[in-house]
Structure 1
Amino acid sequence: MSADHILETRKLTKDFKGFVAVNQVDLQVRRGTIHALIGPNGAGKTTCFNLLTKFITPSSGQILFNGQDITGEAPARIARRGIIRSFQISAVFPHLTVLENVRVALQRKLGTSFHFWRSESSLDSLNERAMELLREVDLESYAPSVTVELSYGRKRALEIATTLAMDPELMLLDEPTQGMGLEDVDRIRQLIKKVAANRTVLMVEHNMSVVSSIADTITVLQRGATLAEGPYAEVSKNPAVIEAYMGSANTELQGAH
């Protein structure tokens, strides 16, 4: 494994009682880049994410992080290594304030249990770092707002802040712009580019305009296997990729810029 690769999979495979969802995928994610996993529905993208974070166990193959084999490790151990995932569906506490959501994530990072018997003011020491993270995702002015009142796009921005609170070395973003209007998509696109400045991002994303504008490398999956890999300009012209997308909802492959 090259030192400039933070994550590598070798023949990563998952079959569910004869159905092969991920088929011998060799993935190499370069440190400090944005790497996108794309493909038609049912291509195995989310299953691949679930394997990387050990929400499901591979049938065969290897996962290496910073050169170390982590295939047999539990999800909590993988998170402690710095592989942190945000989910397709916004995973924040709706009835806490924006600031409180980030404080909860920071408290998790401390490894302490939730100190229900201690006064809330005991968490005030986390406020400064929480506000820094909210500044990073342009939510500082929303700190006192109850999360349920935020727009969908800002909830996703908050989720990125709570992911950042876990101090990820590798951020896994699962469909970060799913279900968003154009304005929110653009905000999240810029936000991903900003937070990726000093960390590595691996993302599953359907929106080709987002992928084409921020991803350094794209891996295209089809039926669980790697169909193509490379920069967008190269992958978007690949006849096999164009054919895979024809008839799907993602026919904007060529005209994404």
Structure 2
Amino acid sequence: MTANDYILETSGLTKEFAGFVAVDNVNLRVRRGTIHALIGPNGAGKTTCFNLLTKFLIPSRGHIAFNGKDITGTRPADIANLGLVRSFQISAVFPHLTGLENVRVALQRRHGSSFDFWRSKSVLDVFNDRARQLLDDVGLSDFAETTALEMPYGRKRALEIATTLALDPEMLLLDEPMAGMGHEDIDKIAALIKRVSANRTILMVEHNLNVVSDLSDAITVLTRGRVLAEGNYQELTNDQRVKEAYLGAAHA
């Protein structure tokens, strides 16, 4: 296996807050073209790790590389332009815009024309075909003219993924994509994640272990800010350390 097989790597990644170590010397390697899950009990440092990867937090120590390029000092917007894009835990769409309008705004950003938002409708129409295609990709063709505010929760999360895909990411970071969902929505979003992973890499934080077992090629378990174990789901369910720290408690 060569270094080129890994799209995202961290070395000694550490984040301290006033003496409290939230992420402690994390070495993470995500293989290109896989779905990689980051799991662990509450307070394990998963979301802090995500914030470090996308530069919403600055590491206290350590390095981050994306496609072999050191991005430790790179700004969040520039990281997105490199192809590493994050979808947030809380749905981040414009509530009073329609599904089509939300995706068009994201497409404008991708094409560097963010101020076209305030210009005539005809300027935006050039994005319509691609926006409708993205809505169709996430199963929202019937919601193109529905405002995000009116959409069921699961559909709103699908719309968020569509707006993220509009940025044409090579790697997608999903922060608890199933949070707050019922079984039906979970099944739909899990199927959607599987579909959109066909030509990109996904790193996700997820508490739902059924989803993790069904979707993930590899799993990293964090506890108290450190990597406890790595492997596939079957390997980790047989790891006594993981049972004690996380899986055992979750199934108790």
**TM-score over 0.5 for the pair:** yes
**SS where residue 49 of structure 1 aligns?**
helix
Deviation at 1:122, TM superposition (A): 1.1
**SS where residue 22 of structure 2 aligns?**
strand
One-letter identity of the residue aligned with 1:5: Y
**SS where residue 28 of structure 2 aligns?**
strand
Q: Which residue of 2 aligns with 1:121?
A: 122
Deviation at 1:251, TM superposition (A): 2.3
One-letter identity of the residue aligned with 2:202: V
**SS where residue 172 of structure 1 aligns?**
strand
Residue 183 (str. 1) matches residue 184 (str. 2): yes
**SS where residue 73 of structure 1 aligns?**
coil
Q: Which residue of 2 aligns with 1:197?
A: 198
Q: Which residue of 1 aligns with 2:160?
A: 159
One-letter identity of the residue aligned with 1:47: T
Deviation at 1:115, TM superposition (A): 2.3
Q: Say how many residue pairs are matched.
A: 251
One-letter identity of the residue aligned with 2:4: A
1:106-117 pair list within 5 angstroms = 106-117=107-118
Deviation sequence 1:201-238 (CA, Å, 0-9, x none): 00000000000000000000000000000111101111
1:1-257 pair list within 5 angstroms = 2-245=3-246, 248=249, 250-251=250-251
Name the CA distance, whole Å, in 1 between partners of 2:57 and 2:119: 36
**SS where residue 93 of structure 2 aligns?**
coil
**SS where residue 15 of structure 2 aligns?**
strand
Seq. identity, %: 66
Deviation at 1:127, TM superposition (A): 0.4
Q: Root-mean-square deviation (CA), in Å?
A: 1.2
**Are the counterparts in 1 of residues 116 and 124 from structure 2 also a CA contact under 8 Å?**
no
Name the CA distance, whole Å, in 2 between partners of 1:127 and 1:43: 42
One-letter identity of the residue aligned with 1:91: A
**SS where residue 114 of structure 1 aligns?**
helix
**Are the counterparts in 1 of residues 34 and 201 from structure 2 also a CA contact under 8 Å?**
yes
Name the CA distance, whole Å, in 1 between partners of 2:206 and 2:118: 42
Deviation at 1:28, TM superposition (A): 0.3
One-letter identity of the residue aligned with 2:77: A
**SS where residue 245 of structure 1 aligns?**
helix
**SS where residue 178 of structure 2 aligns?**
coil
Deviation sequence 1:116-165 (CA, Å, 0-9, x none): 55211211010000011011101011111111111100000000000000
Name the CA distance, whole Å, in 1 between partners of 2:32 and 2:220: 16
Structure 2 unmatched runs, 5+: none
One-letter identity of the residue aligned with 1:201: I
Name the CA distance, whole Å, in 1 between partners of 2:96 and 2:83: 28
Going from structure 1 to structure 2, the CA distance change for 1:14 and 1:117 (only over 3 Å counts) comes to: closer
Deviation at 1:114, TM superposition (A): 1.9
**SS where residue 11 of structure 1 aligns?**
strand
**Are the counterparts in 1 of residues 41 and 246 from structure 2 also a CA contact under 8 Å?**
yes
**SS where residue 115 of structure 1 aligns?**
helix
Deviation at 1:246, TM superposition (A): 6.4
TM-score, normalisation: structure 2: 0.97
Deviation at 1:17, TM superposition (A): 1.1
One-letter identity of the residue aligned with 1:18: G
Going from structure 1 to structure 2, the CA distance change for 1:116 and 1:35 (only over 3 Å counts) comes to: closer
Structure 1 unmatched runs, 5+: 253-257
